[in-house]
Amino acid sequence: MSKAGPGACWRPEGLPSARAAPRPSAPASASPPALGAKMPGKRPPSETGIRSGKRERKAIPLAAKLEVLRRFEEGEKLSRIARALGLAVSTVATIRDNKEKIKASSEAASPARAAQPTRRRSAGMENVERLLGLWIQDQNRQHAPMSATVVQDEAKSSFGDLQREQGGSAQMETFGASRGWLVRFKGRHGLPSVTAAHDAASPAAGRELKYPEGLKSVVQKGGYTPRLVFNIGETGLYWKRMPENAYISVEEDAAAAGRRPTKDRLMLLLGGNAAGDFKLKPLLVYHSENPQAMKGYSKPNLPVIWRSNKKAWITRSIFHEWFTHFFCPAVEKYCAQNNLANKALLILENAPGHPVNLSDLSDNVRVEYLVENKANPMQPMGQGVISTFKAHYLRKTFQHLLGGTDGEDRSTVREFWRNYNIMNAVDNIAEAWDELEPSLMNSVWKKIWPECVHAHDVSQIENITQIQQDILALANDIGFAELVEADVDQLLQSHDEELSNEELMQLEQERAVEEKEENEDAPPILRQLTTKELSEAFSHFEAGMQILANNDPNSERKFAVSRGINDTISCYRELYNEKKQRSKQLS
């Protein structure tokens, strides 16, 4: 969707742009002045109607600045924030650079805070709170229940790790993660009350269903068939990770001690309907919007929905956009193709990262929230779809590796793996997702909607075991004879592990480096045709037509082609004449 460029300069109403000011036009009958003729001198400033002096500045409300900071901290790029809020990219960058002053002004503007004494926190505590903020976002991404005690324990753990890393005077500082500190921390970072996911403070409180009885009631009242009921699940994927005992994995670990592990991590949103006959196009969130490997690719034509976030997380804004611009249109198209009523029921896990107003955004999609119990998970995508997909992805990767190294004059395993990039991973993700059978997509609903399941005899554990055996056979053909089934299983389980404090610190360092490298997005290069380029193009056209004229024995065809080409490029000749005339007028 095309929008006005975010870098467009703002000017007061009624003040025309000097660049856009109309040029006095000559009468239609008048011929353009000859080359070398002197043009009238420029008007004095008093005749232009444009007042001199400094341009009036536009005041940006404090609320808008805070919204910029909120979006930036969620990982949105500067250009996207600028487009969403109607600001220049340079303005958004300035707001980001003045983050501390803006937040201080916000606190000072609150009467309740004005009378409170302020205390200066050490640099170590600032780091602890930044890491804790990242950890909370990671927990929200995994929909993990949180309580005040859990947050306080994590804060103390992060503080201890930072102390050990810094040593020296840092060892003298103490931190108890008191309840008072927790209240202040939540206030400073705009966090909601920290409670368990099933408590009343959860985002969809009062709307969660009891399964399967509650779902059955909603389905009957709404007239939803299995083809109209959907579920989605989020999962992390280390797209370039090998089992630990594979020799290239051992070499990478040895060569990249201290390597940033989040670079090879992405997030996926996978889902489909209960009938199993419609899988949604995967949403992929990567840490970079334009990686080098994507050069020359058209993002809308990728087999995934490509989005980026500096932490490679699915934020609320990304989820909101996915629901509005991808899920709802996909459901509408599916219903039209299958002569179904345009309506759907989307079952979401009740998690802090999910927007709460999704049902208000569509007249045709109803959203219900599932309270997940970690001891007895019920979400369909978590009942075998995601784990089987990851097994398929690993098998696809091994097949890709074997195909690229088997035979003469092929790359070695090390060379091939070194060149394996994110676009190779995208292809393997799409193929792995396509391989999941409708019977599997249907069978995972047996816990919350057993009546809709047809393939009761599908055994997910046996299916994954078979895929793991295929992976081991491929590994042996590649030369990874030392791999055992436990290594493959450990890798498949590692994709959704919590980020450690060390990884969180590396993630924060990575973000700081990227902020320095990317103050703002580079403006797009505007293409334009000059008279020189047009003239060269005409020469090529004429040379080509001359070759046809000299060698084609069919005169009728020759003249027909010549007329057709001249008619087609006549718009370029008109453009060329306009540019030449304008050049004469300005000389």
Q: Exposed (0-12), middle (13-18) or buried (19+): which is 510, by Cβ within 10 Å?
A: middle
**What's 369's DSSP letter?**
E
Residue 476 tokens read as 């042996």
Quote the CA–CA distance of 251 and 240 in Å, as a whole number. Answer: 14
Angle subtended at Cα 178 by Cα 175 and Cα 179, rounded to the nearest 5 degrees: 155
Which residues does 48 contact at the CB level (< 8 Å), separation at least 6?
Answer: 21
Q: What is the pLDDT of residue 7?
A: 40
Which residues does 150 contact at the CB level (< 8 Å), separation at least 6?
Answer: 194
> Tokens 């009343």 belong to which residue?
200
Q: Domain ranges for the chain, please list them.
A: 59-113, 121-196+497-525, 208-495, 531-586
Per-residue pLDDT tens, the chain, 587 aa: give them.
444 444 443 443 443 444 444 444 444 444 444 434 444 444 444 444 444 455 556 678 888 888 888 888 777 778 888 888 888 888 988 998 888 888 877 766 555 444 444 455 677 777 777 777 777 766 665 556 667 787 888 888 878 877 777 665 555 677 777 877 777 777 666 555 554 333 333 444 444 556 677 888 899 999 999 999 999 999 999 999 888 777 675 455 444 444 444 578 899 999 999 999 999 999 999 988 888 898 888 899 999 999 998 778 888 888 989 999 999 999 999 999 999 999 999 998 876 667 777 888 889 999 998 776 665 678 899 889 999 999 999 999 999 999 988 877 778 888 999 899 999 999 999 999 999 999 999 999 998 999 999 865 555 545 788 898 999 999 889 888 888 888 888 888 877 666 666 666 665 565 555 455 444 444 444 446 788 889 899 999 999 889 988 898 988 888 889 889 989 999 998 988 988 888 877 76
Query: Number of C-alpha atoms within 13 angstroms, CB side, residue 495?
Result: 24
238 near 271, Cβ under 8 Å? no
Count CB neighbours of 506 within 10 A: 18
Rounded to a whole number, what is the distance in angstroms from the first to the last CA of the chain? 39
Quote the CA–CA distance of 218 and 347 in Å, as a whole number. Answer: 11
Q: Which tens digit of pLDDT belongs to each residue from 509-532?
A: 655 554 554 444 444 444 467 888
Name the CATH architecture for the domain at 59-113.
Orthogonal Bundle (1.10)
Q: What is the pLDDT of residue 375?
A: 54
Count CB neighbours of 256 within 10 A: 11
Residue 487 phi/psi, 5-degree rounding, is -65, -45
Give the global pTM.
Answer: 0.59
Q: What is the pLDDT of residue 406?
A: 80
Q: What is the pLDDT of residue 430?
A: 97
Q: What is the pLDDT of residue 523?
A: 45
Which residues does 557 contact at the CB level (< 8 Å), separation at least 6?
Answer: none
Q: What is the dihedral of CA 252, 258, 264, 269, to 10 degrees?
A: 140
CA 376 to chain centre: 31
Beta strands 283-286; 208-209: pairing state:
unpaired
